[in-house]
Amino acid sequence: MSFLTADRIKGLVIALAVMALDQAVKAWMLNGLRLREVGVIDIVSFFDLRYAENRGISYGFLTADSLESRIFLFVLTGVIALGVLVWMMREHKMGDIAALALVLGGALGNIIDRVRFTYVVDYADFHLGAWRPFAVFNLADAAITTGVVLLLARSLLIREKPAGDGDADIQADPATEKQ
């Protein structure tokens, strides 16, 4: 069995596509729409494009204000991305590979931001009036969240069928077996 199966190659392509799309959208936000300078662009009553610099992970968790903390956060996210890559390369089912590819691609997109800017560029702001159920986020964050939700759903809802007649988990009692 080959290490790089067709499904794993598809997973790598998905991850690279998510990373590239994330970077392209961020470039459009920063250079095309000049969102950094504009600050906010109202789209509809419940969604704005709002420039934000995320110096932590989420909701200010592990905020990196010093060089040491930025290096730590970069190394931490890099190790997590490497762990996701290894996990993806060990999976056999395309559904799991695709979900992990979304997580990996999103992680790589945000890691690129950390290298380029020392923070992650966020821009998507869903809200209901003043209530914001989510922090301002980006495409990479959405891909990571979608991948994690898919992994959880697959692990909770999809059960492996045992080989044979479905009674593989039931062990026979030698005393009741016919001879």
122 carries an active-site annotation? yes
The pLDDT of residue 160: 66
22 carries an active-site annotation? no
Instruction: Give percent above pLDDT 90 in the chain.
Output: 69
Q: What is the pTM of this model?
A: 0.84
User: Over 50: is that where the pLDDT of 128 sits?
Assistant: yes
Examine residue 151 and state whether it is found in any structural domain, yes or no. yes
Active-site hit among 96, 141, 167, 173? 141
137 DSSP 8-state letter: B
Domain coverage including residue 83: 52-118+129-157
Active-site hit among 96, 113, 122, 125? 122
Examine residue 124 and state whether it is found in any structural domain, yes or no. no
Side chain identity at 135, as an amino acid letter?
A
The count of other CB atoms within 10 Å of the CB of residue 154 is 14
Examine residue 16 and state whether it is found in any structural domain, yes or no. no
User: Over 60: is that where the pLDDT of 169 sits?
Assistant: no
64-69's contacts with Cβ under 8 Å and 24+ in sequence apart are 64/118, 64/119
Examine residue 164 and state whether it is found in any structural domain, yes or no. no
Examine residue 8 and state whether it is found in any structural domain, yes or no. no
Count of structural domains, the chain: 1
Q: Give the residue-averaged pLDDT of 99-110.
A: 97
- 118, 70 Cβ separation under 8 angstroms: yes
DSSP assignment of 55-113 = -SSSTTTT---SHHHHHHHHHHHHHHHHHHHHHHHH---HHHHHHHHHHHHHHHHHHHH
Examine residue 4 and state whether it is found in any structural domain, yes or no. no
The C-alpha atoms of residue 53 and residue 166 are separated, in whole angstroms, by 53
Q: Give the residue-averaged pLDDT of 28-41.
A: 97
- 109, 122 Cβ separation under 8 angstroms: no
